[in-house]
């Protein structure tokens, strides 16, 4: 009789997708070699445990945050953060929930940055604020295996009373600029008229040409009444003749 001892080892063969990685723990210890995947890998049932990690970019829409700016104005700011897992092993081993931690950090970072800036910078420098926030988030989440790809400030909502005050201020500024422009136009027109009067004074024929041009302009408008100006020279001539008769 031939006795033979056969040992059978049971293996499980999970499959992870192209955008996934598997972090394996053997008897509670992190398995060397880093995350597995994509494709198939082998684990020992009841000995190994693994966690799937999605490497695709995620979008987090930060809810509106009530912020008191540096110049004591209350505004409501919301933003959007694009991030992804860059190191699957670190995101599982170093933090309990990398996604939840990143989202909470994004909210607090947005409030802190907006509270350090005055209102006019928040309204006019959104791009620089977004870049600064991205740098802070990326540096803080690097130890969690998270890479922040992009941060965008979506909207800055102002109180209604402040909106009305800013609109009134802008309207007053536009009216002031309009008055300045009108005054400059009148000044230039007066200078042009003075130069024109000097030219006409040097050449009497120019006054006659201007008179004919005015008559031509009036006649082209189809007016039924035309007023002929009487030169002062003629009136003065008759006045002198009348004075001679009385003498």
C-alpha separations of 222 from 88, 90, 140, 219 in Å: 87, 90, 81, 6
Please, are residues 77 and 153 in contact by the beta-carbon 8 Å criterion?
yes
Residue with structure tokens 């995350």? 35
**Arithmetic mean of pLDDT over the chain:** 83
What does the pLDDT average to over 63-71?
A: 89
Whether 229 shows a pLDDT value over 70: the answer reads no
Closest CA to 60 of 30, 27, 103, 91: 103
What pTM does this model have?
0.66
Q: Give CA–CA dist 120/69, Å, rounded.
A: 10
**Left, alpha or beta for 138 (phi > 0: left; psi -120 to 50: alpha)?**
alpha
Please, are residues 108 and 62 in contact by the beta-carbon 8 Å criterion?
no
For 50, the 3-state DSSP assignment is: strand
Most confidently modeled of 3-7, 180-184, 189-193?
180-184
């Amino acid at each position: 009789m031939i006795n033979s001892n056969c040992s059978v080892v049971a293996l499980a063969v999970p499959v992870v997708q192209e955008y996934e990685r598997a972090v394996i723990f053997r008897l509670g210890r992190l398995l060397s070699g880093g995350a597995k995947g994509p494709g198939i890998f082998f684990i020992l049932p009841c000995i190994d445990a693994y966690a799937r990690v999605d490497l695709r970019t995620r979008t987090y829409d930060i809810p509106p945050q009530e912020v008191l700016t540096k110049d004591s104005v209350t505004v409501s700011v919301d933003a959007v953060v694009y991030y992804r897992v860059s190191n699957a092993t670190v995101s599982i081993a170093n933090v309990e929930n990398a996604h939840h931690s990143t989202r909470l950090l994004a909210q607090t970072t947005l409030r802190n940055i907006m509270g350090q800036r005055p209102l006019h910078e928040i309204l006019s420098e959104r791009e620089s604020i977004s870049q600064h926030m991205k740098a802070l988030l990326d540096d803080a989440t690097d130890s969690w295996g998270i890479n922040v790809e992009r941060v965008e400030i979506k909207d800055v909502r102002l109180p209604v009373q402040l909106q009305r005050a800013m609109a009134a201020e802008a309207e007053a500024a536009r009216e002031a600029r309009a008055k300045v422009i009108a005054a400059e136009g009148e000044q230039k027109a007066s200078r042009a008229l003075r130069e024109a009067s000097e030219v006409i004074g040097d050449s009497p024929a120019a006054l006659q040409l201007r008179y004919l041009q005015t008559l031509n302009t009036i006649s082209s408008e189809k007016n039924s009444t035309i007023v002929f100006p009487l030169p002062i020279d003629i009136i003065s001539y008759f006045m002198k003749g009348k004075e001679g008769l009385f003498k």
